[in-house]
Amino acid sequence: MLESYQTPKFKESQLLEVSRELVPIFKRRRTIRHFSDFKPNREIIMNAIQVAGLAPSGANKQPWSFVIIEKNELKKHLRDLAEKEEYRFYVEKPNKQWIKDLSHLHCNVEKEFMTQAPYLIAIFYRHFEIDEVGEKSTNYYAKESAGIATGMLISALHLSGLSTLTYTPKRMTFLANELGRPAHERTFMLLAAGLPHEKAQVPVITKKSLQEICDTYS
């Protein structure tokens, strides 16, 4: 079934101006690793997740779940497990090139943000669904769909004034296990959200220019 669609909000004469305004707003988005202990209203997180849930997905299957973690004991427990994984990554089985590529980002085994950030959002995706009678149905492009939704989540949080950290331990099955997720869910990433610590610092990095990332055939 189809229904008519009234395109969004702006007059044709405003489109260019609006698009230009977005650039500096998103230039200010940075991943931060040190969070303030101020806890923003949970509804901000919920609203951003609602935005994420509006993302396009393969066959509109919406193959994602978002789990908000606020409890201090749970954050501490997940941090301990994450640091075990990171010890393996950085110390026990280091991939020298990978670690060299990360050196400018100042990350290490310690994952202080996992207990510091007021909110951790674990994001899961599913390659298939299982209904009440155990019947399976396929999802399409599940990981790509979760990636798009996560991008929208990060954008919504940024526009709401919150900062985030995208955290992807090399092996992240511990997250699905500890959170008691269904066996067919895969962990996509953990997103920390909150306000930056007043002494937060970010690495000096550059982004590729428009010319470098964009080719035009006009």
Q: How far is the CB of 16 from ligand IYR (least distance, A)?
A: 34
State the residue number with the nearest CB to ligand IYR: 107
Comparing CB distances to ligand IYR, the nearer of 11 and 93 is: 93
129 and 61 in contact (C-beta within 8 Å)?
A: yes
Given the rule CB under 6 A, which residues bind ligand IYR?
Answer: 86, 89, 102, 105, 107, 167-170
Q: How far is the CB of 102 from ligand IYR (least distance, A)?
A: 5
Q: Which residues of 27-61 are buried (b: 16+ CB within 10 A; e: fewer)?
A: eeeeebbbbbeeebeeebbeebbebbeebebbeeb
Comparing CB distances to ligand IYR, the nearer of 83 and 144 is: 83
Comparing CB distances to ligand IYR, the nearer of 57 and 163 is: 163
Q: How far is the CB of 31 from ligand IYR (least distance, A)?
A: 9
Comparing CB distances to ligand IYR, the nearer of 114 and 156 is: 114
Q: How far is the CB of 80 from ligand IYR (least distance, A)?
A: 15
Q: What is the 3-state secondary structure (H, E, C) of 31-42?
A: ECCCECCCCCCH
Residue whose C-alpha is closest to residue 78's, from 91, 65, 67: 67
The first and second tokens of residue 212, run together, are 């470098």
Residue whose C-alpha is closest to residue 50's, from 160, 152, 190, 182: 152
Comparing CB distances to ligand IYR, the nearer of 84 and 184 is: 84
Q: How many Å separate Cα 45 from the centre of its chain?
A: 12
4: which residues sit within 8 A by CB, 6+ positions away? none
Q: How far is the CB of 155 from ligand IYR (least distance, A)?
A: 19
